[in-house]
Amino acid sequence: MKKRSIVPYGPQHPVLPEPIHLDLVIEDEKIVEAIPSIGFVHRGLESLVQKRDFNQMVYVAERVCGICSFGHGFGYCEAVEKIMGVEVPGRAKYLRTIWFELSRLHSHLLWLGLLADGFGFENLFYQCWRIREKVLDVLELTTGGRVIFSVNKIGGVLKDVDEDMLAAVKDMLDKIELELKPIVKTFREEKTVRSRLDGVGVLTKQQAHDLGCAGPFARASGIKSDMRKMGYAAYGELDFDIITSDVGDSYARCDVRIGELFQSISIIRQAIEKLPTGDIAVPVKGNPDGEAFIRIEQPRGEAVYYVKGTGTPFINRMRVRTPTFANLAGLCETLKGADYADVGLLILTIDPCISCTER
Amino acid sequence: MYKVKKSPWVLHYDGSSCNGCDIEVLACLTPVYDAERFGIVNTGDPMQADILLITGGINSQNEAVVKQLYDQMPRPKVVVAVGVCACTGGIFKDCYNILGGADKVIPVDIYVPGCAARPQAIIDGIVQAVELFEKRLEKHKAYVKKEKEA
């Protein structure tokens, strides 16, 4: 038997913006096994339900994660609205959809940049983040915040958008669609990029299914699952397809996310076209009594929210299952047999969000 | 060599933040805000870093990590707490696993408020840190010179 050694990876590591620790068992340069240990970002956020009432919890739920913050606030609101039987006005539903897709746009651009940084293409990293700033500018214009928006509330949204803002959003979409083209071409056709991504970390459809992977990571392995097709918010009235790939390697994950960038742009355009007029929120009376279970599609995959209320202002239990937690098992599988030099890149390809996972 | 101004290198560590401040710290380094024009470079190695940017509060698991990172940095060093969580614990102050702000385990020099801290605020914090670092470097050099002569 060849000699085995264990190399610690993280929690503080140049490739990872967030702390996660992996014990890598290696034979020569090949990974035999990867054992993750987590908990560096654990805050105990779910326990705050005992100290904050259900309206204040919206703002706590948004801070589960700063990248997909809109989705977390949205998922929590949907769950409480389901318990209380609140019907959200149409305009609020469409506004939520537009903001959700804008945050997916910025999240995927962020990921593409980090991936480029992961394989050492600084220029591409900066170009992706330059475009991302345009999306953030529009988010700031419409919501008032750059990364944490705080526009959701139980029963609707807090802010309305006017015609000028919608024109600015449309203008931004046209601009970034043009600017994305050369970047996408670089990811798809550049030899140096493809040589780092093609055939690295292959996860078959069966493996992805058995390990319960979620989101673009599972879709890149050929699993056709997208919670947006369940029709929450305004997604039921908008036209889009689930983007999948059958290859299951790192390039497929990159390609699926690039496809979703253009898909988001198309969804936002449709939502702006169909945006109804009317109220943006309905008044909510009483306290939540009962339980609800909500599944939504975050930029990183399927997130599940469970809320249980007992008729007091303080809800009894809130539970979030985040996509990165589902994907960690898949990550450990893809790491097996990979080169040591590819570890950072492979961790990035699941688009890890550690603060979601550990809360 | 002593006449040359040093370019301070920045180490960023995510304590237990929600990512909001982390991506704003990264956004500061990208061309739109370009914090690198102040001569700083982002590094992943604590042993080469002069300024520690810490986001998020301290919890029982990362307490030792933060302390170790601080100890590994060579003197003189400056610590910047980015975001309200790193300053006081912020919205998570009442959580069972949060001990408080970064100053619970390491000395913090500059506090950058905000949830999430805006890039302009972070850049202001970095600029103040660079100034403080230069002052400390002068002191440190004087100390080293004195030690050599003695």
Within-domain flag for B4: no
A117 shares contact with chain B (CB less than 8 Å): no
Number of structural domains in chain A:
1
**Is residue A137 scored above 50 in pLDDT?**
yes
Report pLDDT digits (tens) over A266-304: 999 999 988 888 888 888 888 888 889 889 988 888 889
From chain A, the residues in CB contact with B91 under 8 A are 59-60, 63
CATH number for the domain that contains residue A47: 1.10.645.10
Q: For residue B66, give the chain A residue with the closest CA.
A: A12
The domain containing residue A258 runs over which residues? 4-358
> Across the strands, what pairs with B79?
B52
Mean pLDDT score, A1-24: 79
Q: Identify the helix (H) or strand (E) that includes residue A9.
A: strand A4-9
Cα–Cα dist A350/A252, whole Å: 11
The domain containing residue B139 runs over which residues? 9-149
Report pLDDT digits (tens) over B62-87: 888 888 889 988 888 899 999 898 88
**Is residue A311 scored above 80 in pLDDT?**
yes
Within-domain flag for B132: yes
**Residue B111: per-residue pLDDT:** 92
From chain B, the residues in CB contact with A19 under 8 A are 13-14, 62, 65
Within-domain flag for B71: yes
**Is residue B3 scored above 70 in pLDDT?**
no
From chain B, the residues in CB contact with A41 under 8 A are 14-17, 56, 59, 62
DSSP assignment of chain B equals -TTSPP--EEEEEE-S--SHHHHHHHHHHSTTT-GGGGT-EEES-GGG-SEEEEES-EETTTHHHHHHHHHHSPSS-EEEEESHHHHH-GGGTTSTTEEESGGGTS---EEE--TTPPHHHHHHHHHHHHHHHHHHHHHHHHHHHHHHH-
Cα–Cα dist A54/B150, whole Å: 66
Cα–Cα dist A282/A157, whole Å: 9
Token representation of residue B108: 């913090």
Percent of all residues in chain A with a pLDDT value above 90, rounded to a whole number: 12
Shortest distance, CA B65 to any CA of chain A (angstroms): 8
Cα–Cα dist A328/A211, whole Å: 9
**Is residue B4 scored above 50 in pLDDT?**
no
Cα–Cα dist A349/B111, whole Å: 34
**Residue A265: per-residue pLDDT:** 92
| A120: phi then psi, degrees, rounded to nearest 5 | 85, 25
ipTM, two decimals: 0.81
Cα–Cα dist B127/A272, whole Å: 41
| A309: phi then psi, degrees, rounded to nearest 5 | -115, 155
State the pLDDT confidence band at B5, using cuts at 50, 70 and 90.
low
Report pLDDT digits (tens) over B21-64: 888 888 888 778 888 887 777 887 888 888 898 988 888 888 88
**Residue B80: per-residue pLDDT:** 92
What's chain A's average pLDDT?
Answer: 87
Q: With an 8 Å Cβ cutoff, are A65 and B18 in contact?
A: yes
Report pLDDT digits (tens) over A55-95: 888 888 888 888 888 889 999 998 999 898 888 888 898 99
Quick check: helix, strand or coil at residue A318?
strand
From chain A, the residues in CB contact with B16 under 8 A are 40-43, 355
Of A19, A48, A69, the CB nearest to B95: A48
Q: With an 8 Å Cβ cutoff, are A43 and B57 in contact?
A: yes
**Is residue A15 scored above 80 in pLDDT?**
no
From chain A, the residues in CB contact with B88 under 8 A are none
Number of structural domains in chain B:
1
Within-domain flag for B3: no
Residues of B engaging A, defined by a Cβ cutoff of 8 Å: 12-24, 26-27, 30-32, 43-46, 56-57, 59, 61-62, 65, 69, 91-92, 94-98, 115-116, 118-119
Of A42, A66, A136, the CB nearest to B59: A42
State the pLDDT confidence band at A50, using cuts at 50, 70 and 90.
confident
From chain A, the residues in CB contact with B18 under 8 A are 63-66, 69, 148, 355
Q: With an 8 Å Cβ cutoff, are A14 and B56 in contact?
A: no
Report pLDDT digits (tens) over A162-208: 888 889 998 999 999 999 999 999 888 888 888 888 888 888 889 88
From chain B, the residues in CB contact with A144 under 8 A are none
Cα–Cα dist A10/A6, whole Å: 13
